[in-house]
Amino acid sequence: MLFKDDSVARAQHQAVRENVGWFQWTHDLVEVTGADADKFLDYLFVNNIYKAGIGRTKYTTMLNEDGKIIDDTIVMHMGEHHYWVSTLYAPQFIKWADAHRNAFDVSYRNITDDTVMFSVQGPNSVKMMNALLKSPVDDLKRFQVADDQIGDVSIKVHRSGFTGENGYEIYCVKSDSAAVEAAIREVGKAFDAVELDILEVYVRSLSMEKGYALRQDMFELTPYECGLDWSVDLEKDFIGKDALLRAKEEGPKHLLMGLELLAESYEDITQLEIVYSRGIPCGFVRSVIYGYTVNKNIGFAVIDSAHAIVGEKVTVGSNDSPAIVTEKCFL
């Protein structure tokens, strides 16, 4: 939980919005290889993995047979028939992959314990990265991954992040992580880079202001109900496609929307708290946080389509906390 008057959290948040900040937060990573790795991932995910050339990455969701989201990931094309899947739920991903492996010539393993990821985020991240790495990142495109070095340490750099600002992820083997962290810390001094150590700042506050939802926000919704139409390739086959086509034809029953919470504090609002329109239930809360750029308590909620109207006045929870339905992006 974050509070308006938390000066430390505010400073960390503002560093990323206005300058540059860094943190260590390794997502779960699953390495996928084999002659059918491309086809297998194309079948698991809604986005077209085939279209991502070597060195390119793609955001995508994974659906169950009912066309509902069960995970969202970044799929990274590391080499020929060689991928990394960046998720927060590697064991669940592997269990799902096992259930749908069928006759695909594919292997996969959880490499999370072998890998460490550092993230450098903010408007001045490119300057800091150019000072840190052997090769400059000026030409590295968003959702592109490349080999590079920090001193004598081999790393992979991925232009991506979850803060809504330009940023980069640095991947190294665990045994090199201390050297990489020391280099980031030292180079960062010249840029007044701030180390972020408050999880809610870099996972929720920064991302939610920009409308970036987590799997827990989208779970059991369709991509269309989450505004992710652009990520669905209906020209190929994937798990849940038939159900998703039916859902698309019928139209969304709910929509993932933003909530601007008008009370001074959101302490009494929890996940799954009921949202009411004129006393009638019309949805439920998925997550809430304080946004230090917008200076508001904000959240995501699943709202019935009839009430998913920007500007709609609602109340939340048994205390009738006032709120306004908004777009997911608050900036």
0.85 surpassed by pTM: yes
Structural domain count of the chain: 1
> Is residue 129 in a domain?
yes
Average pLDDT of the residues of the chain = 96
Instruction: Please report the sign of the dihedral spanned by the C-alpha atoms of residue 273, residue 279, residue 281, residue 287.
Output: negative
Do the domain assignments include residue 90?
Answer: yes
pLDDT in tens, 284-306: 999 999 999 999 999 999 999 99
Asked if 159 and 168 count as a contact pair (C-beta separation under 8 A), the reply is yes
Please report where in the chains the tokens 């400059």 appear, as a residue.
Answer: 136
Q: 327: helix, coil or strand? A: coil
Q: What is the pLDDT of residues 151-163, one digit of tens each?
A: 999 999 999 999 9
CATH number of the domain encompassing residue 100: 3.30.1360.120
The parent domain of residue 69 ranges over 20-192+222-249
What pLDDT, in 10s, does the model give residues 78-136?
999 999 999 999 999 999 999 999 999 999 999 999 999 999 999 999 999 999 999 99
Residue 301 lies in a domain: no
- For residue 267, the model assigns a pLDDT of 79
Kindly indicate the confidence band of residue 59, based on its pLDDT and cuts at 50, 70 and 90. Answer: very high
What gap in Å lies between CA 253 and CA 132, rounded to an integer? 48
Residue 282 lies in a domain: no
Domain membership of residue 7 (yes or no) is no
Q: Is residue 110 part of a domain?
A: yes
pLDDT at position 295: 97
Quick: pLDDT tens for 227-274.
999 999 999 999 999 999 999 999 999 999 999 999 988 877 888 999
The angle, 0 to 180 degrees and rounded to 10, between the axes of the packed helices 37-44 and 90-99 is: 100
Has residue 147 been placed in a domain? yes
Residue 31 scores a pLDDT above 90: yes
What digits encode the pLDDT tens for the residues 90-105?
999 999 999 999 999 9
Determine the average pLDDT of the residues in 309-324.
95
pLDDT of 16 over the 80 cut: yes
Asked if residue 198 belongs to a domain, the reply is: no
Tell me phi and psi for residue 330, to 5 degrees.
-100, -5
